[in-house]
Amino acid sequence: MKILFLDQSGKLGGAELSLLDVASAFSPHCLVGVFQDGPFPQALASRHIPYQVLAQSSIAVSKESPWADGAKSLGQLAPLVATIARLGQDFDLIYTNTSKALILGALASRLCGKPLVHHLRDIVSPEHFSRANRTLLVTAANWCAAHVIANSVATQAAFIAAGGAAQTISVIYNGFAPAAYQTAPEARADLRAELGWHDKFIVGHFSRLAPWKGQHILLEALAQCPDPVVALLVGDALFGEDDYVKGLYRQVQRLGLTHRVKFMGFRSDIPPLMQACDLITHTSIAPEPFGRVIVEAMLCQRPIVAAAAGGAVELVTDGETGWLCPPNQAQTLGDLINHSYHHPEQTQAIAQAGYHHALTHFTLDQTHQALRQLLGEFSTKG
Ligand code: UDP
Ligand code: GLC
């Protein structure tokens, strides 16, 4: 089965990190078409996954854009659709991994007559998409996708609520290679010493810096915690959220937290950084479609507090495999962090239960098997 994967981003977001793992299972009998150069194509190259950068400049339409912006970019899109349709002739299936890839892939699949499967990794709701883009996405999926894979039940439900065809969508969770999350035992102590925080209670946050990811909620919560509780924020603004980042720096100053917060920028060494932490928080204020960081924290044997919305509630059982906190509630998050700080034994038990849960439910082998079976059903070689 030869697959043409399509992804709009050159950056390394969760959708692209997931696609790296998916495509490696089909490599070398695949091609990943990317609409932008950057760290994602570089990561494909370093894993020897065949790829091609298909566009010279990024497409100027965002999830919140109205119709008019989409129409204006048609001139830029038509040659890209033609390129994809030409490439598609050599493959058994087109697999789109992002919403812009779906729109272009849908048109191209019509032109080259190859089946299309879309991997829906977004919650198609007003919090994330303009009305115009919700309609466009759902219409393209209904008309052109042989099947839609949702990354969670929440993503599936939002798609159907937005008018998506219920009979064409099913859930496959993201999978992870557990071995990638084991690190040398001394790494934790070394990193904590390097940070100058060997005796602190380190609360980690691992996510691109963006308003809906809610880093500001963690800062507000931290201000309610005692001095030894500190925060490590790993991640950068990937999609131009520079004003939000400036706001976070101002918030740190205003709350008097300069000695208790470190911004690390984008990092590729997530497992050792997670293991250096005592607790990991996920604070999205809009429903998280899946939340890779939640499962990654579990695999690093670290306790997780996740925002109780979207796919996150499918990953965490409150008080058993982690804690759930209502989104946008800094006070409750502060209380949970304090609770964890004062109850190390319970915290340790929760981390262990989360670890075993992730090992049982979210392995890459399980995801690959489910994907192979599903894609086989829809490919021209199926
Ligand atoms: N991540 C990373 N470096 C960073 C911050 C985050 O590699 O500095 C990774 C993180 O480990 C996770 C992914 O980015 O695998 C984010 O995926 P998630 O599903 O949590 O959120 P998304 O950003 O896709 O909405
Ligand atoms: C998207 C979602 C995130 C999910 C990732 C991988 O980036 O925002 O929640 O984990 O895709 O499916």
Residues 48, 32 contacting (CB under 8 angstroms): no
Q: Probe ligand 2: pick from 19, 20, 63, 121, max atoms within 8 Å of CB?
A: 121
Report CA-CA distances (Å) from 168 to 117, 173, 363.
Answer: 10, 16, 24
pLDDT tens digit string along 269-302? 999 999 999 999 999 999 999 999 999 999 999 9
Taking CB atoms within 8 Å and a gap of at least 24, the contacts of 81-84 are 81/107, 81/108, 81/111, 82/108, 82/111, 83/54, 84/4, 84/6, 84/33, 84/54, 84/108
From the CB of residue 130, how many other CB atoms can be counted at a distance below 10 Å?
17
Atom 14 of ligand 1, residue of closest alpha carbon? 14
Instruction: State the angle between helix axes of 330-342 and 215-222 in degrees (0 to 180), rounded to the nearest 10.
Output: 60
Comparing CA positions, the residue from 241, 248, 245 lying closest to residue 216 is 248
Q: How far apart are CA 140 and CA 18, in angstroms?
A: 23
- Per-residue confidence band for 185, with pLDDT thresholds at 50, 70 and 90: confident
E strands, the chain, in order: 3-7, 30-34, 51-53, 93-96, 116-120, 147-150, 169-171, 201-206, 229-234, 261-265, 279-281, 304-307, 323-325
Q: How far apart are CA 73 and CA 132, in angstroms?
A: 15
- Residues β-bridged to residue 203: 231, 279
Ligand 1 atom, smallest distance to 288 CA: 25
Dmax of the chain from CA atoms? 62
pLDDT attached to residue 74 = 64
Q: How far apart are CA 95 and CA 85, in angstroms?
A: 13
pLDDT attached to residue 55 = 85
- Per-residue confidence band for 63, with pLDDT thresholds at 50, 70 and 90: low
Which ligand lies nearest to the CA atom of residue 267 in the structure? Answer: 1
Tokens representing 382 are 């199926």
From the CB of residue 338, how many other CB atoms can be counted at a distance below 10 Å?
16
Tokens representing 1 are 């089965």
Tell me what the mean pLDDT of segment 97-101 comes to.
97
pLDDT attached to residue 247 = 98
Q: Probe ligand 1: pick from 19, 63, 120, 206, max atoms within 8 Å of CB?
A: 206
Ligand 1 atom, smallest distance to 238 CA: 23
pLDDT at 152 over 90: yes
The domains located in the chain, with CATH, are 3-175+363-381 (3.40.50.2000), 178-361 (3.40.50.2000)
Which ligand lies nearest to the CA atom of residue 268 in the structure? Answer: 1
Taking CB atoms within 8 Å and a gap of at least 24, the contacts of 256-261 are 256/223, 257/219, 257/222, 257/223, 257/231, 260/222, 260/227, 260/229, 260/230, 260/231, 261/219, 261/222, 261/230, 261/231, 261/233
Average pLDDT, rounded, for the chain:
95
Q: How far apart are CA 48 and CA 170, in angstroms?
A: 30
Q: Tell me the CA–centroid distance for residue 236 and ligand 1, in Å.
A: 10
In degrees, rounded to 5, the angle at the alpha carbon of residue 94 between the alpha carbons of residues 362 and 171 is 30
Tokens representing 235 are 């991640």
Tell me what the mean pLDDT of segment 67-77 comes to.
65
Tell me what the mean pLDDT of segment 94-120 comes to.
97
First to last CA, the chain: 8
- Per-residue confidence band for 181, with pLDDT thresholds at 50, 70 and 90: very high
Q: How many residues does the chain have?
A: 382
Name 360's Cβ contacts closer than 8 Å, sequence gap at least 6: none
Q: Tell me the CA–centroid distance for residue 112 and ligand 1, in Å.
A: 34
pLDDT tens digit string along 203-214? 999 999 999 999
Classify 328 in phi/psi space as left (phi over 0), alpha (psi -120 to 50) or beta.
Answer: left
Residues 308, 331 contacting (CB under 8 angstroms): no
Q: What is the DSSP-derived secondary structure letter of residue 319?
A: T
Q: Tell me the CA–centroid distance for residue 188 and ligand 2, in Å.
A: 27
pLDDT at 58 over 90: no
Q: How far apart are CA 338 and CA 343, in angstroms?
A: 9
Q: Tell me the CA–centroid distance for residue 2 and ligand 2, in Å.
A: 25
pLDDT at 70 over 70: no
What residues does ligand 2 touch, defined as CB less than 6 Å away? 13-15, 18, 121, 151, 174, 288-292
pLDDT attached to residue 76 = 74
What residues does ligand 1 touch, defined as CB less than 6 Å away? 13-15, 17, 206-208, 234-235, 266-267, 270, 290-293, 296
- Per-residue confidence band for 163, with pLDDT thresholds at 50, 70 and 90: very high
Which ligand lies nearest to the CA atom of residue 181 in the structure? Answer: 1
Ligand 2 atom, smallest distance to 310 CA: 9
Ligand 1 atom, smallest distance to 282 CA: 20
Tokens representing 200 are 């602190």
